[in-house]
Amino acid sequence: MREIFVFFFIRWVLLTISDLSFFYHKSLHSLYCLVFSLVCRPVSFISLVLLIAIAYSSATIQGQQIKRKGIQKYIARIKEYGRIERRHSSFYIGLYGQTWVNFKDVCMDLVTKLMKLNRNKCKYYQQGLRAMRLIESVL
């Protein structure tokens, strides 16, 4: 019975994360191996399932809050006219919002120096800073 649950759980996880570009074939294979190795240890397996559920829920809730504030366009493309499906899920938006904030810490000095060189882009720079503050308030 546990093997059937594991199979469907792994299938659900893979379908959920399949639209993320940073998961490659090797990563998915190693995820399979990890989960199947944890099947032998039920406590570890339950902990892994709980950890994945919490992380997924957290990223999804943050993505929904970012969408409600109307700053999704700074993180990912929004739904285009004539497109039936959304381009990115709330999970994707929340996950990449966190990545965007982490990247800001790395390159803030460089961007400030570039803005001093090119004054006509300051308006867009200010818009980006405002969006960053709003995203940080969500996270």
For position 29, what pLDDT does the model report? 62
The two structure tokens encoding residue 60: 């999804």
CA distance 95 to 58: 9
User: What does the H/E/C string look like for 39-52?
Assistant: CCCHHHHHHHHHHH
CA distance 124 to 23: 32
Per-residue pLDDT in tens (0 to 9) along the chain, 139 residues = 555 666 666 666 655 555 444 444 555 566 666 666 666 666 666 777 788 888 888 888 888 888 888 887 777 777 677 777 667 778 888 888 888 887 877 888 888 888 888 888 888 888 888 888 888 887 7
For 132, residues 6+ apart whose C-beta sits below 8 A from its C-beta are 74, 100, 101, 104
CB 80 within 8 A of CB 53: no
The two structure tokens encoding residue 76: 């990912």
| CA-based nearest residue to 59, from 24, 21, 16, 90 | 90
Indicate the angle between helix axes 42-69 and 122-138, nearest 10 degrees: 140
For position 24, what pLDDT does the model report? 47
- CA 60 from centroid of its chain's CA atoms: 8
User: Where are the domains positioned within the chain?
Assistant: 41-138
Global pTM?
A: 0.57
Which residue type, as a one-letter code, is found at position 64? Q
How many beta carbons lie within 10 A of that of residue 10, not counting itself? Answer: 16
For position 50, what pLDDT does the model report? 81
